[in-house]
Amino acid sequence: MRVSSRVLVLVCCAVILTAALPVWGQGGSRPVLLSGASAASVIQSVLSAPTLVDYEGTKILTAVRGEQAETVTILESYKRFGKLRLEFLSPESTSGRLIVDDGASSWHYEPSLHVVIRGPSFVTTSTRTDASAILKRYEARVLGSEQVIGRQTLVLELLPKEGRMTRRLWVDQATGVVLRTEERSQGGELLFSSFFSRISYSLNLPSALFRFHLPAGAKIFTFFLSGDPTQDRQELSRQAKFAVRAPATLGGSYAFQSGTIARHGALMAVSLLYSDGVNIVSLYETPSSKMAVPVLGTSMAMRNGRGRWLDLGYFRVVMWESGGISHAILGTLPAESLVAMAEELNTVKP
Amino acid sequence: MGHARLERQLSAFLDNELTADDAQEVRAHLETCVACREELQRLEHVKRLLGSLPERAPAPQVWEELRERLDAQAPRESAGVLEAIRNAFRRPALALAAAAIVVLLIAVPLVKGRIDRLRAAEVGPDVFVREHALSAVADPFADRAYVGLLVTDANLVLISEPRSRGSVR
C-alpha cells in the first residue's frame, strides 16, 4: 500500500513536469504556437508570454538616428509578473548601468556617477489588450517560420491600416517571447531592431535578482514627474491654468487616452496621451511665457510658421509655438505623420 | 464670583451684554443679595429716565471747531514722514541701499522668470522623452530594454549629467 502511494506521487510529479516543460520552453515537446498559427493567436501568445515565463538573455538593440546607428548590449532578466533587471554591457557610455524594476518602482544605478535614480515602473503585464483590439487597427500576417538563436520562431508582420511604419516580430513558438524585432519606415528603412543573441528560460528566476540593493554612499534622486492622469480635458485646463488644446483624435486614428500635469523644476507642462490601440503619441503643451521653444534639432517649415525637428533614433519630436503655447509632439511615427498632426492641432480651438 | 465683582456687572446685566453663564450667575446672586437688588432697581430707574430724555443735535460750530483741529494735525504728521524720507536721502549710503532694494524687488522676479523659462526649455525635451518612454510601455510590443535605456538617459540629463551619446543633446 505504501509502495503504491509512492508510485502515485511519482506519476503525479511526472505529469506536472511534462505539462510545465512546454511553458518553460526547454523541453519544447508541445509548443505554445503551431506552425500554421493565425496572426491572432501569435499576437495573443506575445501578450500572454509575460505572465507565463521567466527568462534571462543577452539582447542587442540598434536604433538609427539620422545617418548614425547606436548599438547597445544588455543582459535582460525577466520574472513574472512584471519584474525586470537590465545590466548594460556596451557601449562604454552605458557600461555598468543597472536597472532593477520590481513592478512598482524602477531603480537606476549609474556607476560612473555613483547615483541612484528612483522612478515609476516601466514594466506592464497588462492583459487588458487582446489580439482583436490590435487587429482592428493593424493588418497582421504570419510571414512564415524561421530559426533564431537555434529556436523555432514565427515571423509576424504588423502594419498600421493608415500605413506609416511596419513592425516584424520573431515570436518563439515554444514560449511566445519575442526574440527579434524590427521596425521599418514606409520606405523600408530600418528604424529600430532588437534581438537576443542568447536566451535561457526558467520556471522561476530567484527573487533576489529583482531586489535593488542601494550601493553604499550613492546619492539618490527620485523622479516621479507626472500627477494623476485624468480623462477630463476641462479639468486639465483648470489645473494647468490655461486653455489646453486636446482634440478627441489626432491623425485620424489616434484617440485621446488621458492627460496629466508633468512637472520638473521650473517646467510645468500638460501631457496628453494618444493611442491607436497599440502605438502611443504624446503631446505636451506649456505657455510660451513659461517655456521658450528649445533650441535643439533642426529648424523646419510648417504650414503656419516654423518649428523644430528632433530625431532621437527611435523617438521623433516636433516642437513649435502657436497661440502663445509651446507644443511638442513625440512618437515613433515618421516625420511627415508627426508634422501633419502638429499642423492639424494648430487648427484646433482650445 | 464675589459680591463686589457682581455688583460691577449689574449695568452690563441690565443692558443684556453678559454671556449666558455670567447672566445666570448674576441672576442667582440677586436672589440672595438685597443690596444688589436695590442697586439694580436704581440703575433701571436711571435707564428709564435717560430713555425719556429728548435727543439734541450738537451746535454747528462744534463740528467746525473739530474739523479745524483735525486739519491742523494732519499736515503736521505727513510733513513728519516726508521730512524723515528727506533726511534719509541726505545720507548717500541709505539712499543707495533703498534704491538697490527697489531695483532688486523689481528685477528678481523678472530675471527669475527668464531663467526659469530658459531652464524649462533646456530640460523640456528630456522630460518629454522620459514621460513619453514611460507612457510607451502601454504599447504591448514596445521593447522594455530600449524604453529603459531612453528613460535612464533622460534621467541623467535631468540630474545635469548627460551621457555623451543617446540623450537628446
Q: What is the tens place of the pLDDT at every residue in A212-228?
A: 999 999 999 998 877 78
Whether A111 has a pLDDT exceeding 60, the answer reads yes
C-alpha distance from A6 to closest chain B C-alpha (Å): 45
Nearest CB partner across the interface for A72, out of B137, B149, B158:
B149
Is B71 a domain residue? no
Output the pLDDT for position A177.
95
Whether B133 has a pLDDT exceeding 70, the answer reads yes
How confident is residue B1, by pLDDT bands cut at 50, 70 and 90? low
Output the pLDDT for position A227.
78
Per-residue cell: B60: 454747528
| Cβ-based neighbour number of residue A300 at 10 Å | 16
- Best of A315, A320, A338 to disrupt the B interface (most B CBs within 10 Å) is A315
- Best of A168, A170, A223 to disrupt the B interface (most B CBs within 10 Å) is A223
Identify the architecture of domain A29-220 in CATH: Clam (2.50)
Interchain contact, B121 vs A291, CB within 8 Å: yes
Q: Give CA–CA dist B130/B137, Å, rounded.
A: 12
Strands A219-222 and A190-202, how do they pair?
unpaired
Question: Which SS3 state, helix, strand or coil, does residue A135 take?
Answer: helix
For A38, counting Cβ atoms within 10 Å of its Cβ (0-12 exposed, 13-18 middle, 19+ buried), the class is middle
Mean pLDDT score across all residues of chain A: 85
Range of the domain at B149: 111-169
Nearest CB partner across the interface for A269, out of B124, B149, B169:
B124
Listed residue (A141, A126, A158, A136) closest to A51, CA to CA: A126
Strands A115-120 and A219-222, how do they pair?
parallel
Interchain contact, B155 vs A47, CB within 8 Å: no
Minimum CA–CA partner of B112 in chain A: A266
Nearest CB partner across the interface for B124, out of A122, A123, A294:
A294
Q: Where in chain A is the domain with CATH 2.50.20.10?
A: 29-220
pTM higher than 0.80 for the full model?
Answer: no
Output the pLDDT for position A66.
67
B125 CB neighbours in chain A (<8 A) are 294, 296, 310, 317, 319, 328
Is B103 a domain residue? no
Is B120 a domain residue? yes
Question: What ipTM, to 2 d.p.?
Answer: 0.84
Q: Give the E-state strand segments of chain A in sequence order.
A: 54-65, 68-79, 83-90, 98-101, 105-110, 115-120, 138-148, 151-160, 165-172, 178-185, 190-202, 219-222, 249-250, 254-264, 267-275, 280-287, 298-302, 305-311, 316-322, 325-331
Torsions phi, psi of A98, nearest 5? -130, 135
Q: Give CA–CA dist A164/A228, Å, rounded.
A: 31
| Upstream peptide bond of A91 is cis (omega within 30 degrees of 0) | yes
Amino acid A90 reads S
CATH 3.40.980.10 fits A233-346, yes or no: no
Give the number of domains in chain B: 2
The CA-atom distances, in angstroms, between B77 and each of B63, B64, B67, B82, B155 are 21, 21, 16, 9, 62
C-alpha distance from A103 to closest chain B C-alpha (Å): 12
The larger pLDDT score, comparing residue A125 to residue B140, is at B140
Is B102 a domain residue? no
Alpha-carbon torsion, ordered A245, A250, A255, A260, to 10 deg? -30
How confident is residue B113, by pLDDT bands cut at 50, 70 and 90? confident
Minimum CA–CA partner of A70 in chain B: B166
Is B70 a domain residue? no
Output the pLDDT for position A157.
94
Query: A330 near B133, Cβ under 8 Å?
Result: no
Which of A63-72, A109-118, A260-269, B14-23 has the least mean pLDDT?
A: A63-72
Element (H, E) at A136: helix A131-137
- Best of B111, B123, B130, B149 to disrupt the A interface (most A CBs within 10 Å) is B149
Question: Which SS3 state, helix, strand or coil, does residue A137 take?
Answer: helix
Query: A325 near A313, Cβ under 8 Å?
Result: no
Alpha-carbon torsion, ordered A49, A50, A53, A55, to 10 deg? 110
Listed residue (A137, A114, A344) closest to B156, CA to CA: A114
Whether B155 has a pLDDT exceeding 60, the answer reads yes
Is B137 a domain residue? yes
Whether A11 has a pLDDT exceeding 70, the answer reads no
Domain-terminating residue out of B18, B37, B52: B52
Mean pLDDT of A38-50: 91
Q: Give CA–CA dist B159/A160, Å, rounded.
A: 37
The larger pLDDT score, comparing residue A183 to residue B165, is at A183
Domain-terminating residue out of B18, B35, B52: B52
Share of chain A above pLDDT 90, in %: 47
Q: What is the DSSP string of A15-78?
A: HHHHHHHHHHSSS-SS-SS-TT--HHHHHHHHHHHHHH-EEEEEEEEEEEETTEEEEEEEEEEE
Is B91 a domain residue? no
Q: Give CA–CA dist A180/A197, Å, rounded.
A: 9
Is B151 a domain residue? yes
Output the pLDDT for position A263.
86
Q: Half-sphere exposure of A62 toward its Cβ, with a 13 Å CA cutoff?
A: 13
Nearest CB partner across the interface for B138, out of A106, A117, A280:
A280
| Angle made by CA atoms B11, B16, B21, in degrees to the nearest 5 | 100
